[in-house]
Amino acid sequence: MRISIFGMGYVGAITAGCLAREGHQVVGVDINQTKVDLINAGKTPVIEKDIGEIIANTVAEGRLRATTDTADAVHGTEMSLVCVGTPNRRNGSLDLSYVRNVSEEIGRVLAEKDDYHVVVMRSTMLPGSMREVVIPTLERFSGKKAGADFGVCINPEFLREGVAVHDFYHPPKTVIGEIGKRSGDVLEAMWDGLVDAPLIRTDLETAEMVKYTDNVSHALKVAFANEIGNICKRLGIDGHKVMDIYCQDTKLNISPYYLKPGFAFGGSCLPKDVRALTYKARTMDLDVPLLNAIMPSNRNQVQHAIDLIEASGKKKVGVLGLSFKEGTDDMRESPVVDLIEYLLGKGYDLRIYDRNVNLASVVGANKDFIHNSIPHIYELLCESMEEVVDHADTLVIGNGDREFAQALERDDAVEKIIDLVRIDPAARSNGRYEGICW
């Protein structure tokens, strides 16, 4: 393919060199004449393992060149990858001026170009940036319609400094956010056979958000490991030994198991252990702000559910699920119990169903909890899900018991369904059904 790449900084230079190495005809574009001259001389404008040799070879073989001329680059290529910077402003917001400027320049050339051209953003931008900045700018200066007259995609990069060339060929995934199938098809053809990784095609906003989710989660993991390590140090424990053992568990610790947005966590282990560890840190005068934020963040998720219920404007509420998760009768620290307590205090007319919570069969700590802590709630339990559904104007799905999926099929029964667990993976928020995080 004939590809132009805008921005010969870190991402752009790596992308240009590697694509040229794979046989594509690549034109690098930058307003900095020094960078352009370096590339045309077969030299790298960035310091990164292996890229110097790659650029030298591809320039010598005639597959890579650079220019400051946008018209020359766009007219001579089928697709443009935009890799310009998106730095923070002083208040933390993104400065998209470089993206806007390049979009304006490309748009002016597209106004003169008859062939279908695809503009691909590799720059990291917050969700909404493509539709609010990139596409309107391209359309304004080209006088053409995105998706019809030219293509638009976003293709986030997952390159780590120091191993960027390796990461280019071995990414964890390839994500294509597309305005339409034709745009995505052109970009997918560029990646076809180039890397061995899952290729996901999705909408623009999801692709924009994926990159931020990745990077913020990496930051979160670094901060988490450091706080655990700091506690270990105070206790005379080798933090690396602890985390090495932690990382050997790929069934729960390193897995997608806990990474599904939904309701707050509960049960007899997680809340108790978070409190105990953060208390231990306090006794050693050790500040662990990330760990200290876990319980407040968990409470916020209960408040999100309350806000959704109150927004429905209905006082007759049915709750499916009382235990903290499906398949158990454990109600200790169940966030659903906290939710119900709040609603009762506000005068809501409640009915509850959970087939796993039955006073005749509950024993031990759970029985004591019912008698001593929530006897008033237990009295609201119904014998069948139908009783709750028939009572409710607003129905809340509180845990993942598969039986509760049947409630989604009763179109005539409930005015509003608020799902805290995504009981049906295919469910989408609409006027009647609403998910807490989707």
Q: Tell me the three state secondary structure of residue 28.
A: strand
Edge to edge, what strands does the sheet with 394-397 contain? 349-353, 316-320, 394-397, 416-419, 433-435
Q: For 202-206, which contacts have Cβ atoms below 8 Å and span 24 or more sequence positions?
A: 202/175, 202/176, 202/177, 202/178, 203/177, 203/178, 204/130, 204/131, 204/152, 204/153, 204/154, 204/177, 204/178, 204/179, 205/127, 205/128, 205/130, 205/131, 205/177, 206/177
Choosing from 83, 153, 232, 269, the catalytic residue is 269
**Phi-psi map region of 371: left, alpha, beta (phi>0 left; psi -120 to 50 alpha):** alpha
Pairing type for strands 151-154 and 174-178 reads antiparallel
Rounded CA separation 232/331 (Å): 32
DSSP state of 404: G
**Phi-psi map region of 399: left, alpha, beta (phi>0 left; psi -120 to 50 alpha):** beta
Q: For 220-228, which contacts have Cβ atoms below 8 Å and span 24 or more sequence positions?
A: 220/290, 223/290, 224/290, 224/291, 227/288, 227/289, 227/290, 227/291
Among candidates 301, 235, 233, which has minimal Cα distance to 271?
A: 301
Secondary structure element (H or E) that encloses residue 184, with its range: helix 181-191
Q: Which residues pair with 199 in a beta bridge?
A: 174
269 as an active site residue: the answer is yes
Q: Which residues pair with 318 in a beta bridge?
A: 351, 395
SS (H, E, C) 293-308: CHHHHHHHHHHHHHHH
Would you please indicate which residues are annotated as catalytic (active-site) residues? 269
